[in-house]
Chain A
Amino acid sequence: MQPAAANIGARFPQALRDAGLTALIALGVFLPLVGFQTVTNIRDALTLTTRWPLLLFLVGSIAAVRFVYVVALAPRFERGARLIPQRASAAAANILRNWFIPFAVAFVIVYPMLVVLTVGFGGAVRWIDNFGIQILIYVMLGWGLNIVVGLAGLLDLGYVAFYAVGAYSYALLAKAFGLSFWILLPLAGTLASFWGILLGFPVLRLRGDYLAIVTLAFGEIIRLILINWVPVTNGYAGIGSIPRPTFFGIPFNADDNGFAAVFGLEFSPIYRVGFLYYVILALALVTCFFNVRLRRLPIGRAWEALREDEIACRSLGINTTNTKLTAFAMGAMFAGFAGSFFAARQGFISPESFTFLESATIVAIVVLGGMGSQIGVAIAAVIMIGGTEMMRRIEFLKQIFGPTFDPTQYRMLLFGLAMVAIMRWRPRGLIATRTPSAFLRKRRNISVDLVKEGRG
C-alpha cells in the first residue's frame, strides 16, 4: 500500500504539468468554438455573445480528466494491457453467440409491446418511432454497408447516395404512378443496385484512399443532382405528402375504412408506427439473413478473399471485376430498401437527409462494430443512434447550463470522443474476431490481427 501511495504522490507534479498543458490546448480549441457565439438579435443583426461559464466548465473538466488519467488510470491501463488474456475475447464471443443473439432477437420483437405496457399508448409512439425505427434503419444500413466495407474491404464513403436513390425512387414513383409500397420496395432496391454497379465501374481499379475519395464524390454528385434537378426532385424544398404504406391495402388513418375502424379499435397513431416498426425489423432481419448466408456461399468467400489478396484471387480464376460489382450492387440494394422505407415512414424527403454526415455515420457504425461482424454493427448502431436520441431527452443538463442549452449540438463532439476511445482501446471494433465460414472439425474464431482490412 505504502509504495503505491508514494507512486501516486510521485506522479503528482507530472500530472499537474500534463493537466495544465491539456487545459491550454483545450482553451485554444474551445475559445473560438464554444467561448464565442454569434446570435441574430431582434433587429436581425449579428451580435457576438460570450459563453464563459460553459467554456470554463469544458476546459476544467478536460484538465481534470487528464489529471485523473495520468495519476490513477494510465499505470493501471499499462498493467492491464499486459494482463488481459487473449482467450477472453474468444470466450466472450462464444457467450455472445449462444445467449446474446436469441435474447436480442426476442427483445426487438416484443419491444413495441413492452413500451406500450410501460408508458402507455400516448408516450409509446415516440419511443417506438425515435428509438426503435430510427435505430433499425441504421442497423439495416450498417449491415448493408458491411457487405461492401466489412466483407469485400472496399471503403465506400458515399453509401448514402444509394439510400437517397431508394428514397427518391419510392417518393417519385409512388406519387407519379400511385404504386404501392410493396411493389416499389423491390423496385427501389433494384434501382439502387443499378446505381451501385454504375459507381462500381469507374472505381474498379482504384484502391484505398482513391476509392474513398471517388465514392465520397459520388455521394455528393447524387445529392447535388437532387438539389438542382428541380423539375423532378423539387430541389431543396423536397417532396412532401408521400403515400404512406398500407396494411395490405388498409390505410392507417381515422377514416371509416382505416385500420382502426376495420379492426374495431380506437384510432391511434400507434398502429401505424407499430406496423412500420415490424416492417423495418423484417427488412433488417432479411438483410442479416442475406449477410450470414452470403458469407457461406462462394460469392461471400470470394468477397473476403478479395479483401485479403486480390492478386491471389485472380490467380485462382475469380473474376474480380464481377465480384466487386456484385458487392457494390448488393450493398446498394439494401440501402435502396432502407431508403424507400425511410421515404414511406417520413412522408417527406429532401436532400438535407442525405448529406455526407449520414455516410460518415454509417461507416462509423461499421467501423465501431468491427468490420464484418453482424452483432458488432448492431450494437454500434444502438450506441450511436440510440445515444444521439437519448441526448435529446437529457433534461438535467439544461438545469446546469440554462434553458437554451441543447445537448444534441454536442453530438459530434461525443462522436469524436467515442471514435478516439474505440481507436485507442479496440482499434478493430467492438467485435474483433472473425468467424470462419466453414470448418472441418471445430469452429475457431480468428483474431482480427490476422484479417486484412482491405486496401480497396
Chain B
Amino acid sequence: MTAHDGSTVLRVEHLSMRFGGLVAVDDLSFEVQRGTITALIGPNGAGKTTVFNCITGFYRPTEGRLALQRGDPAVWQALEALTNSGQRGVLRPDGALFLLERMPDYLVAQQARVARTFQNIRLFAGMTVLENLLVAQHNPLMLASGYTVLGLLGLPPYAAAERVARDKARHWLERFSLIERADDPAGELPYGAQRRLEIARAMCTDPVLLCLDEPAAGLNPRESAELNELLLLIRDECAISMLLIEHDMSVVMNISDHVVVLDYGIKIADGAPEAVRNDPKVIGAYLGVGDEEVARVEAEVGL
C-alpha cells in the first residue's frame, strides 16, 4: 500500500476499460491533487473521454479502483476497509470517501459531487439559461420541496430554497458574464457562451471535482484566454480540483498544474507541464512516430 498524500482528491488505480476486444484504457493510474488543475492529454482516440466516462460513472470500468475523497484527508485511512466491504462509500461528519466505480452516474454527481461537461455541448436547449442552472440544483431543491409535496402546496420553505437557488444561479451567471442572457433560451446563445454556460451549470452542483471535456474546443484565442483566467479564478476561490481534457496546448500549458498523457489507452507521461512538453515520448505520440525517430521528424518539420 502506497503512502497517501493528504491532499489527494482522486486516486485512479489500475483503471482498465475494454469494449469487446478493444482496450480503450489499459492499466492507468494517476492522482489529482486538491485545488489543482490536472490536464489529461493525448492524440485522438487515446482514451481520454473513456477515462472521463469511467470517473463520472457513465461507464463501469472493466478493472481498477477510482477513489474520491472530500473533507478531512484522514478518511483516506478507510480506503482498504471500504474496498473490502463492498460498500459504495463512507460518509462521516468530517469527510467522505467514495469508490466511483461502484456508483451509477447520477450518484457520482449527487453524492461524490463530481460534475462534468461534455465534448459536444449538452445543454437543455429549449430551456432558458436560468432554468438550466436551476435544473443543476435539482437535488437540494427537491429536498426543499419535500419531494414535491410541500412545493405543490406552496409552503414557505420551498420558496426560500428557490430564492437561494436563484441567487446562486445569478452569482454564477455574473461570474461567467452570462447575466444579460439569463432569460434567453440556451440554444440561442453563441457557441462560446454555450461552453461557458455548461461550466456554470456544472458549478451549480457544488462539485468537489470538475471534469471538463475540451472546454476550449471551438473557442477563438481571445475566448480561450478568458476561459483560462476564469478557470484559474474558480480553482483559487472555490478550492475545487479540476480534471481537464484539452487539445489546445495554450490552455493546457498555461493553466494546468499537472499533466497526464495517454496514448492508445496507456499512460506515457505524468508530470509538470514543462517536463511533459519536452518528453520525447509525448512528442513522438503526437507526431505519430516512435520516440527514437522523434529527432529526425522534428528536424524534418523544422521544430
Contact = CB atoms under 8 A, between A and B. Distances in A.
A301 interface: yes
Contact of A301 (B105, B106, B138): B138
B185 to A, nearest CB: 5
Contact of B152 (A297, A311, A314, A318): A297
B122 A309 contact: yes
A192 B145 CA distance: 24
A290 B148 CA distance: 11
Q: Which range holds the interface residue count of chain B?
A: 35 or more
A256 B60 CA distance: 72
Contacts of B135: 298, 301-302, 305, 313, 316, 318
B50 to A, nearest CB: 15
Interface in B119-148: 122-128, 130-131, 134-139, 141-142, 145, 148
Given A293-B152, A299-B142, A299-B148, A308 B183 contact: no
Contacts of A309: 122-125
A383 to B, nearest CB: 26
B176 interface: no
A446 B152 contact: no
Interface in B150-185: 151-152, 154, 158, 162, 166, 170, 179, 182-185
A450 B188 contact: yes
B72 to A, nearest CB: 23
A31 B158 CA distance: 64
A5 interface: no
A450 B126 contact: yes
Contacts of A311: 58, 118, 122
Interface in B253-270: none
B109 A317 contact: yes
Interface string A297-331: 11101101100110111111111100000100000
A301 B131 contact: yes
Nearest to B198: A312
Interface stretch (A80-88, A269-277, A437-445): A437-445
Residue among B126, B166, B170, B187 with most chain A CB within 10 A = B126
Contacts of B141: 298
B170 A440 contact: yes
Residue among A290, A312, A440, A447 with most chain B CB within 10 A = A312
A89 to B, nearest CB: 15
Nearest to B142: A298
Interface in A27-61: none
B126 A314 contact: no
Nearest to A442: B183
B124 A446 contact: no
Nearest to A305: B135
Contacts of B125: 308-309, 450-452
B124 A441 contact: no
A434 interface: yes
A75 interface: no
A317 B123 contact: no
A317 B205 contact: yes
A312 B158 CA distance: 25
A304 B158 CA distance: 20
B106 A438 contact: no
Given A290-B152, A315-B115, A308 B142 contact: no
B183 A439 contact: yes
B102 interface: no
B108 to A, nearest CB: 8
A443 B183 contact: yes
6 contacts: A290-B152, A297-B158, A311-B122, A312-B122, A319-B106, A326-B148
Interface of B: 56, 58, 105-107, 109-110, 115-116, 118, 122-128, 130-131, 134-139, 141-142, 145, 148, 151-152, 154, 158, 162, 166, 170, 179, 182-185, 187-188, 201-202, 205
Given A308-B123, A442-B183, 12 more contacts: A297-B152, A298-B135, A302-B138, A305-B135, A308-B124, A312-B118, A312-B123, A315-B58, A317-B109, A317-B138, A434-B126, A437-B131
